Structure formats: structure tokens, C-alpha cells
Chain A
Amino acid sequence: KAGVTQTPRYLIKTRGQQVTLSCSPISGHRSVSWYQQTPGQGLQFLFEYFSETQRNKGNFPGRFSGRQFSNSRSEMNVSTLELGDSALYLCASSLLGQRTDTQYFGPGTRLTVL
């Protein structure tokens, strides 16, 4: 079956703009998590959604937000972009988000903020 897809794959924005990234999980998966990866900070957890509800949240400012739709597709939004938001944004899906569930990652969206 199809893997996790993320769109767009690459994005260039300028400071102050906002951006919306999209993630389509594997069919049947209800948990979607978002991560930010930078060379300096590594992979950092942003938030997790399950059944359209945010279930867990990492330590990111309120400029980072997300949502999940009834078909489990998820979007994340970053407002008032800063240079430090340049990163690879990864989405991962799992069946129920439980400890024995495998997380399947998408290819990521590379965001560059100028």
C-alpha cells in the first residue's frame, strides 16, 4: 500500500510569511505526528494528532499549529516565519499511536526561509 506522502517537497518562503504543509498518512492509520529536523537540534517532536484531536505537543511556540481531518490527513501551519524555521519537516503515521505501533515517516518537506 502507498506510504506516507507529504506536499510540497520543497518550499521557499521569506521571513514574516506563513506556510502550510500537508501530510497524507498510510491508509487506515489514525495517528499522525510531525517533527522538525535541523542540523543543530536534530529531530524534534512538534505534535501528534489522533482522531482529529491534538494528543501530544512538543516545546514549540504557538506559531506552529496543526490539524487533522476526518480522513486522517493532517496539515501543519507555521505563521510569521523566522530564519530559524528553515528545516526538514517530517510527518509520520501509525495505526493508533501506541507504543508497539511502528511509525512510518514520509519523505519530508524541505522549508527554506529567506
Chain B
Amino acid sequence: LAKTTQPISMDSYEGQEVNITCSHNNIATNDYITWYQQFPSQGPRFIIQGYKTKVTNEVASLFIPADRKSSTLSLPRVSLSDTAVYYCLVARPASKIIFGSGTRLSIRP
């Protein structure tokens, strides 16, 4: 199973763009990359998923280079409510999902 590595914590300010990079060196051909957001005492919430190049939805963008050994979650113009833990996952069909330590993002006014 692909292991992921993310920064333990990041700080930013309201209105800034935040980029969180995840390393997954041994990603397999059929693996997808998924990001989740978790607030304290709540279950994780799906943010975005991708396989290669760039994926964008209403809350975030996901950039995946050609070698797929890393990915970057981009949050445009963050607000205080984006303060949370962000998890990068690499998952295969019908396999157990391994959550890494996540990145604790703190947004300041």
C-alpha cells in the first residue's frame, strides 16, 4: 500500500491561497489520490479526488505531476473556517484505506 507523507502543520492567513503537498513515492498504476478534511470531533469530509494532471471543484484544486509521486491540494482564498486537518490518501479498489498523520492547517485573521 502506498505510504503518504505530508507536512505536520501549516499556518496561513485569511484570503491567501494555501498549497499542501503530499508525497506518495510508491503509488501504483491503479491508485487514485484522495484528499479529506476533518474538523475536531467530526468525521472526515471528502474534498477532491484525482488520478493525474489537474482536477478542480468548487472548493479546491488538485495538481498531480506526470510521475504521480506527489500531489498538491490547493485551497484558494482560505477563511478561518478552513482551519482543519487535511489528509492525503492513496487507495486501491476494495483495499483498506490508510490515513497518514495529516496536515493541521491553521488560518489566522
Contacts and interface: CB of A to CB of B under 8 A. Distances in A.
Given A99-B31, A103-B46, A58 B96 contact: yes
B94 A110 contact: no
For chain B, which range describes its interface: under 10, 10 to 19, 20 to 34, or 35 or more residues?
20 to 34
Interface string A10-51: 000000000000000000000001010000001111001010
B interface: dominant SS: loop
B95 interface: yes
B93 A99 contact: yes
Contacts of B108: none
Contacts, number: 62
A33 B97 contact: yes
Interface of B: 30-32, 34, 41-46, 49, 87, 91-102
19 contacts: A42-B101, A42-B102, A43-B44, A43-B87, A43-B102, A45-B97, A45-B98, A45-B99, A50-B94, A55-B94, A56-B96, A88-B41, A91-B43, A92-B44, A99-B31, A99-B92, A100-B49, A103-B46, A105-B45
